[in-house]
Structure 1
Amino acid sequence: MEFNDSMLMRREAEVNLSTESDKQWMTLHCGQCNTVVGDGLSICGELTPMDSIMCLKVTNDVAVSDEMEVHKGDMAQCIYSPLMCRCCHSTVGKVIHSLPARLAVSRSVFLLNKANISCYILNSSSMVKASTLTFDLKPLRDNMREVHQKFKTQYERMLRVKSRMSDRRAACGKVL
């Protein structure tokens, strides 16, 4: 669905996600009715074999089906419950309850099927299909290094300010 002159919808070719942090500022929508089903801050990665976005939480507009199904194909031996959009009742993903040990990272995480999800990118005010984006996140170790470096830089800046304030107090004390 595309609205040629709409502020909400732009062609996916016009969307420019220049940095990894841009990916965080988005909302996830049902591909059928555009109901918000999640946001970029809850995304914890992508499960490529299932073409799914891994989310820690979803909105109240997503219902976990009471039915449990057995996955077929490359994800055989997986037991899951479908995730349904409460507004249009279409399937938007699944929650896996039981799976082989090699895939344990995706147990009890909301898996939104990229084919059934659209993303509203807040920074560019555009709506794109989730299948056109990647949701790979930096490893935690890289994030921790980055935070540590920022903290260290801020700490050094605070020490310089404190030193300048001490010098000014000492100078003011000599004048009086």
Structure 2
Amino acid sequence: MASRSSENLDTKRRQRGAESRIDEATRILHVDEDACNSGEDKDDDDGPVVFLCGTCNLPIGDSLSWAGSDNESQIQLKRVTDNVLVGKEQRIYEPKPKHRCLILDLRCKGCQSILGMVYLSTPKALDYKRFTFCFRVQQLDSYVLGSANQEVAAESLPELPLTVEDRGVVEQQLLEMKTLVVSMAQRLEKIEEGLHPDLDESLP
């Protein structure tokens, strides 16, 4: 009994986490749409969102195929990846009283989880959902492209010991630099002598 309640708690936590990530993705998409409509510069906007199966993390689509959302409980995409399987068995679905719909289930190719549905027949109020891929928010995870910001700091890299080969290369470079400095000093002395050839004779 305790294990079942623990599993239910884990499932609820996972669903809440997925909903919050999808909500954030939905917010970003609305910001992008508003920026497009107003003609503003989008250089600082976040990148496209990749939608993943919440169970096995296979990619199922992205925000470039965005078709809309429904009260943040469903998202609609125009196109999906080959990881989404469209069922063949039609069934009746009634999201609200007197809103009977004919749908096909959408399953993940990897884990066979039901991710959402395709509406084949709808009442007039739901016509906007017909023939789009409708996914349940709680069944998805998401990733915003360009959101990675962790870099390897130079201070965190381990200092490697100096090998015999490395030491030989360093010594050769130092010798070449020393030779170049000596050569430049000699040239500078000759140039100075050429500029003041009678300097010693004019001194008392």
TM-score > 0.5 by shorter chain: yes
Structure 1 portions without partners, runs of 5+: 2-10, 127-176
CA positional deviation for 1:125 = 3.3
Asked if 1 retains the 8 angstrom alpha-carbon contact of 2:47 and 2:145, the reply is no
CA positional deviation for 1:67 = 1.1
Structure showing the higher helix proportion among its residues = 2
Look up the match of 1:108: 131
CA positional deviation for 1:106 = 0.7
Is 1:53 aligned to residue 75 of structure 2?
A: yes
Secondary structure of the residue aligned to 1:89 is: coil
CA distance in 1, matches of 2:58, 2:68: 21
Normalised TM-score (structure 2):
0.50
Look up the match of 1:91: 114
CA positional deviation for 1:47 = 1.8
Asked if 2 retains the 8 angstrom alpha-carbon contact of 1:30 and 1:37, the reply is yes
Is 1:71 aligned to residue 93 of structure 2?
A: yes
- Given the alignment, which residue of 41, 47, 66 partners 2:64? 41
Secondary structure of the residue aligned to 1:112 is: strand
CA positional deviation for 1:73 = 4.2
CA distance in 1, matches of 2:46, 2:107: 24
CA distance in 1, matches of 2:71, 2:117: 14
Structure showing the higher strand proportion among its residues = 1
- List per-residue Cα deviations over 1:55-101 (Å, max 9, x = no partner): 00110010100011111341631010000000000001100000101
Is 1:119 aligned to residue 130 of structure 2?
A: no
Report the CA distance shift for 1:80/1:23 in structure 2 as closer, same or farther (over 3 A).
farther
Secondary structure of the residue aligned to 1:74 is: coil
Look up the match of 1:31: 54
Larger RCO, structures 1/2 (Cα 8 Å, 6+ apart): 1
Two-structure CA RMSD over aligned residues (Å): 2.8
CA distance in 2, matches of 1:87, 1:31: 11
Asked if 2 retains the 8 angstrom alpha-carbon contact of 1:24 and 1:40, the reply is no
Asked if 1 retains the 8 angstrom alpha-carbon contact of 2:46 and 2:145, the reply is no
- List per-residue Cα deviations over 1:136-172 (Å, max 9, x = no partner): xxxxxxxxxxxxxxxxxxxxxxxxxxxxxxxxxxxxx
CA distance in 2, matches of 1:87, 1:77: 30
Of all paired residues, the percent bearing the same amino acid is 27
